[in-house]
């Protein structure tokens, strides 16, 4: 089972995650491990439609306002679900930083003790990387840990990895904390 919640990122951080300021848009029953994409695709299609076609609010038949709705970020609670949202191999992969194009390494010879990502000035993954588009720099024939094109690719707000919000593993690596 998966639950999809909406959090308004522009809300005051002190109340942003309180129940009365969030709302649930879906509860997806079934084996999401088997075919997570089939659960996710209708939600992404709805988000895309909301960004193209304005939502019209009427009160007693009178037009009050209209607006298009844009998804500014996606975040999930847990490493595994974040990997699945991104179609990513995972943080133990050689290219395991979801945000950067940096090759990992073992801190001790012999390949034991975890995977660490030491490149502090590595390039951020772009839309071309996330969608596995041809000629994605720096190496057009390398997927750098992305297993398949992101289903979020149809959203106009997917410009880079930043759509997937922040990642504690990435922040630790960038700040030099290992």
pLDDT, tens digit, 9 for 90 and up, residues 94-111: 777 777 777 777 777 666
The secondary element (H helix, E strand) that includes residue 174 is: helix 168-175
Q: Looking at residues 44-48, what average pLDDT do you find?
A: 86
Residues sharing a CB contact under 8 Å with residue 7, sequence separation 6 or more, in sequence order? 16, 17, 21, 22, 75
Task: Please identify which residue in the block is written with the tokens 């073992």.
Answer: 106
Q: Looking at residues 42-57, what average pLDDT do you find?
A: 87
Which of 10-19, 27-36, 92-101 shows the lowest mean pLDDT across its residues? 27-36
**Mean pLDDT estimate for the chain:** 75
Q: What is the pLDDT of residue 178?
A: 40
pLDDT confidence bin for 58, thresholds 50/70/90: very high
For 69-103, give one letter per residue: b (16+ CB within 10 A) or e: eebeebebeebeebbbbbbbbbbebebbbbbbbbb
The alpha helices in 26-167, defined as continuous H runs, are 32-52, 79-86, 127-130
Q: Looking at residues 141-156, what average pLDDT do you find?
A: 78
Nearest CA among 172, 115, 178, 108 for reference residue 145: 115
Both tokens of 17, joined, read: 């995650």
Rounded Cα gap, residues 64 and 82, in angstroms? 38
On the question of pLDDT at 78 being above 70, the answer is: no
Q: What is the pLDDT of residue 29?
A: 66
pLDDT confidence bin for 171, thresholds 50/70/90: low
Q: What is the pLDDT of residue 168?
A: 59
């Amino acid at each position: 089972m998966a639950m999809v919640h909406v959090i308004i990122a522009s809300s005051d951080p002190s109340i942003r995650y309180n129940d009365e300021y969030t709302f649930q848009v879906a509860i997806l029953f079934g084996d999401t491990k088997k075919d997570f994409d089939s659960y996710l695709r209708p939600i992404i299609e709805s988000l895309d439609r909301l960004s193209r076609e304005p939502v019209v609010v009427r009160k007693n038949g009178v037009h009050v306002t209209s607006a298009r709705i844009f998804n500014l970020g996606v975040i999930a609670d847990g490493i595994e679900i974040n990997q699945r949202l991104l179609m990513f191999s995972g943080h133990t992969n050689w290219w395991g930083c979801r945000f950067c194009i940096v090759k990992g390494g073992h801190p001790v010879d012999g390949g034991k003790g975890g995977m660490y990502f030491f490149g502090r000035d590595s390039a951020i993954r772009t839309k071309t990387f996330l969608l596995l588009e041809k000629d994605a720099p720096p190496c057009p024939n390398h997927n750098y840990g992305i297993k398949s094109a992101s289903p979020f690719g149809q959203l106009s707000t997917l410009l880079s990895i930043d759509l997937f919000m922040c990642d504690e593993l990435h922040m630790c690596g960038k700040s030099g904390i290992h």
